[in-house]
């Protein structure tokens, strides 16, 4: 969408079956993108058209971020991290 970045998480078990996420602190997921300079973006998930957690954030200004995303699954908070770099 030009000025918006979208992250969709497809959460499955070891057999590839869809795993539902539970509401956690008022949202179905929380994500923080942190740049080496200290700049950051915080977003809450909404449900995508397929029922998966989707994060819509303003297009990042910096070229590199480390993302930390949390979901609650079966009563346990799970943290996923990855690095994101502008193409």
Q: Does position 2 have pLDDT exceeding 50, yes or no? A: yes
* Predicted pLDDT of residue 52: 86
* Predicted pLDDT of residue 1: 47
Residues 6+ positions from 3 with CB-CB distance below 8 Å = 58, 59
In this structure, what token pair is assigned to residue 78?
A: 């799970």
Instruction: Please provide the average confidence, as pLDDT, over all residues in the chain.
Output: 89
* Predicted pLDDT of residue 86: 81
Digit-coded pLDDT (tens) for 42-75: 999 988 887 889 998 887 788 889 999 999 999 9
Task: Write out 8-66 in H/E/C secondary structure.
Answer: ECCCECCCCCECCCECECCECCEEEEECCCCCEEEEECEECCCCCEEEEEECCCCCEEE
Q: Does position 38 have pLDDT exceeding 60, yes or no? A: yes
């Amino acid at each position: 969408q030009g000025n918006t970045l979208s992250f969709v998480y497809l959460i499955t078990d070891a057999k590839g079956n869809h795993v539902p996420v539970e509401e956690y602190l008022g949202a179905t997921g929380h994500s923080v993108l942190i740049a080496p300079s200290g700049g950051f973006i915080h977003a809450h998930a909404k449900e995508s058209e397929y029922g998966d957690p989707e994060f819509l954030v303003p297009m990042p200004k910096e070229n590199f971020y480390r993302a930390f995303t949390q979901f609650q699954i079966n009563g346990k908070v799970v943290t996923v991290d990855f690095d994101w770099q502008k193409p």
